Chains A and B, each alone.
Chain A
Amino acid sequence: MEQTIHFKLNSRPVTVTTDGERALLWVLRTDLGLTGSKFGCGQNQCGACTVIINKETVRSCQYPVKNVAGKEVITIEGLALNGKLHPLQKAFIKCGAIQCGFCTPGMILQSYGLLLKNARPSPAQIVAHMDQNLCRCGAHTRIIEAIQKAAAELKGGKA
């Protein structure tokens, strides 16, 4: 059913009028032109579409867009503030935690969600939190390293 949905996207208010049952991922990628969130499986299995909704990590590929009404959504495009990269983004670059880069937006937002809750996660906690985000190129060890590095920088108040 067509409905008008108001929400906050990357700190800006947006309004979309569309079928509220549509997946948030496609509304972001098509209607709103933000292609940073990726389609990897559409089955909640890979995490390439991960976004932050009200400080929680959410798989946007199966999340009905009507459910974001009144909420705050962050996508990969909204992570850098005023052109300044977030410590996670910097750490991913620095550690070479990227190969093809397709899973990267989901990886960064999944770890962003972790750091919101746990400012200094142990490697085991990182692994547990990231385990359902898939990377086929095998950048895993460096992604763990990057998350630790970013956590250290955020903790040090340099962000």
Chain B
Amino acid sequence: METQSELLDRREFVKILGPGLYFLFSLDNFLLGQQPGGRMGGYPTDLNAYLRIAEDGHVTCYAGKVELGQGVTASLAQMLAEELEVPFDSVSIVLGDTMLCPWDGGTNGSRSIKYLGPVMRAAGAEAREVLIQMAAEILKLPPDRLIAKEGAVFEKNNPANKVTYGSLARGRTIERHLDEKPRLKSPSEFVVCGKSLPRADFQDKVTGKAQFAGDVRLPQILYGKVLRPPVHGAKLKNVDLTAAKEVKEAVVLQDNDFIGVVHPLPDMAEKVLARIKAEYELPQLKVDDRNIHQHIENAAARDNVVEQKGDLAQGNKLAVLKFEESYATPYVAHAAIETHSAIADVKRDKATVYIGTQRPFGVGEEIGRAIDLQSKQIRVIAPYVGGGFGGKSQVGQAVQAARLSKMTGFPVQVVWTREEEFFYDTFQPAAVVKISSGLDESNRIVFWDYHVFFAGDRSAQNIYSVPNLRTMSRGMGFGGDGPHPFSTGAWRGPGSNTNIFARESHIDVMAAKAGLDPLEFRIMNLKDERMLRVVRAAADKFGWKPAKAPSGRGQGMVCLDYLGTYVAAMAQIKVDKSSGGIRVERIVHAQDMGPVINPDGARMQIEGGITMGLGYCLSEEIHFKGGQVNDLGFDSYQIPKFSWVPQIETVLVENFEIEPSGCGEPPIVGIGALIANALFDATGVRMHRLPLTPERIKEESS
């Protein structure tokens, strides 16, 4: 088997890490220590995969995550520094490089802190204990008389007697390992975690120095563009390349229906592409954005039981108020401001690809298939990523770049236009939820029959105390075949945006019919003490006053559990009665995600999630006819703007009873129902479909 070291270009290595400091350790051991096992079976167990201590005491932290704005640059380094007992500012972090970093499953699902966090902490703790052992031998003292702190090992009773980590490790692999892994600190012992420490990437991001994939330049770089069909599913019939080939310096390339151009200037490559004349055979699909939900309901797929308890028929008998409602959400685009970008340098037996991706370790195979290389021959480097939200898990642009690089023998960069970005996006799937439910005489939910179609089952589970219930999920949430006329994929909070819109809207439907305040109704039907605590935290901060809806005030609420993180949110909105337009004035958001690693970073994620959520709630919807995507720019596809943003107040509900949980997705998933419930409170109009556009609100109220 070829080892990673054979793939290594030493000059590149020096360029990345800087000369001098790093050649104190064995290069081969370094690389071997990092990779094996990781790709196949989860996170490597060797602590050296995650950290390196240089002779001057500087610590480099390695992680296969990428920085897409969520702040792992700080939080992962904090967790390592915490257990290793080094100052936070002595740690720098290397992310998203398949050659230098340990395997990782991808930056998605709010999993960085939850799953990589414990691994990173364990590596730091083990390294600390090994360093104490090494120091004990040098100082000729038993380890229990020593203590590690601030990057050095001290004699407890005589702090002048010490050895620094740098002098112990000297940049080398730490060969010694512990059979019994040391205990990790409890959150109450945290010194570095729990602090709002700064992100190291900010400095370069305000000066223009920070490099995204489209900013990477390699010698002899060419810029590529690939011909795109006008609609999904179109087949190329005829193509005329004559006019394109006439352009000086341009090279036009064809491999069956893969047609591309390269040029030394990116803007010229685009102009050359526009000179290609192509004729397509267009598929005739009848599905469009108006009939898609009927189409989805009728599509056949496997029904999966998500949860089931009690007896629905029995519950139905006990019910005095019964409800049957249907909810729907449309296709939604990721629309990161950075379009998909990559630069590929393909050689005969290896390739280096810089990609704006959320899955540096997951994409090698797909790229490799296109250029006849194995994934282990491909080094993937994810520089800073300009927003992902699930959309940067697909790497069509890197496949294009790799093919063009292989065809030309030069490094080729591909940066998608905004039109390509919309066209090739893996949208959040359109989906439907149908709920029937009932309340008994004391307004307790006695049965709950929940069916979700093609959103997946994330957050479909009921959080209320219901004796008789069934939750069913039909088809896949995203990816797979499905009934969709184009690709779908994970979109920040996949599935949950639909499921929580449906459930939390429906809870308010029941509360209104029962004549109860939505908060009171929820408290009556919740048994989970942790959830109740979060709900009360939001209500206190908001100053919620009980009233049955519609009260005319324009207040709404939701509560939810997203993969173990609990959220309660309350909103105040204003509705322009003549236009139907919604102005969100204030949102209070309480979140319990266990111990918080970086409170300010968490608040930023929460503010960001709420703001982004206003988009899918108020305006975002892909319009289409068959495979033709009609929204290809920010003119018709409106994402949130400064003028939309409400006052946001965040409550971080302290909880040391559980392990740190995810932060970035939980804040977005409740926004649809939150605003729909506030709209009902303001106007008495119940919306069953997102987004809540003025036209649709008007339509529903007449």
Contact = CB atoms under 8 A, between A and B. Distances in A.
A142 B384 contact: no
B572 interface: no
A99 B206 CA distance: 11
Interface residues of B, number: 60
Given A93-B206, A102-B338, 18 more contacts: A22-B268, A23-B267, A35-B208, A46-B634, A48-B337, A75-B208, A76-B206, A79-B207, A85-B206, A100-B67, A100-B68, A101-B210, A131-B643, A134-B641, A138-B612, A139-B608, A140-B641, A141-B648
A137 B207 contact: no
B355 to A, nearest CB: 15
Contacts of A132: 641
B643 A127 contact: yes
Contacts of A130: 642
Interface residues of A, number: 57
Interface in A94-111: 96, 98-105, 108
Interface in B385-410: 385-389
Nearest to B633: A43
A130 B643 CA distance: 9
Contacts of B645: 138, 140-141
A4 B640 CA distance: 41
Contacts of B634: 41, 43, 45-46, 134
A132 B647 CA distance: 20
B203 interface: yes
Given A34-B208, A46-B634, A139 B339 contact: no
A6 B238 CA distance: 45
A138 B610 contact: yes
17 contacts: A26-B267, A38-B212, A38-B337, A42-B418, A77-B208, A93-B206, A96-B601, A98-B199, A98-B206, A99-B387, A100-B387, A104-B205, A105-B208, A127-B642, A139-B607, A140-B645, A144-B642
A40 interface: yes
**Most A C-beta atoms less than 10 A away, residue of B267, B338, B643:** B267
A42 B210 CA distance: 21
B202 interface: yes
Interface string B642-677: 110101100000000000000000000000000000
Contacts of A42: 417-418
B207 A89 contact: yes
A135 interface: yes
Interface of A: 22-23, 26, 29-31, 33-43, 45-46, 48, 75-77, 79-80, 85, 89, 92-93, 96, 98-105, 108, 126-128, 130-144
Interface string B335-373: 111110000000000000000000000000000000000
A128 B336 CA distance: 22
**Most B C-beta atoms less than 10 A away, residue of A22, A35, A99, A142:** A99
Nearest to A18: B265
A136 B613 CA distance: 10
Contact of A80 (B67, B207, B385, B635): B207
Nearest to B70: A99
A143 B604 CA distance: 11
B215 interface: yes
A34 to B, nearest CB: 7
A141 B607 contact: yes
B610 A108 contact: no
A39 B339 contact: yes
Majority SS at the chain A contact face:
loop
Contacts of A96: 202, 600-601, 604
A100 B198 CA distance: 14
Contacts of B387: 99-100, 102, 136-137
Given A43-B635, A100-B385, A103-B337, A138 B206 contact: no
B609 interface: yes
B642 A37 contact: no
Contacts of B647: 141
Contact of B415 (A39, A89, A108): A39
Nearest to A133: B642
Contacts of A108: 206
A131 to B, nearest CB: 5
A134 B418 CA distance: 13
For the complex of A and B, 7 pairs with smallest distance between CB atoms: A36-B208, A138-B611, A102-B386, A100-B69, A101-B205, A99-B69, A138-B608
A75 to B, nearest CB: 7
Interface in B211-245: 211-212, 214-215, 217, 223
B482 interface: no
B385 A35 contact: no
Contact of A45 (B205, B608, B633): B633
A156 B209 CA distance: 28
Given A77-B208, A140-B642, A99 B418 contact: no
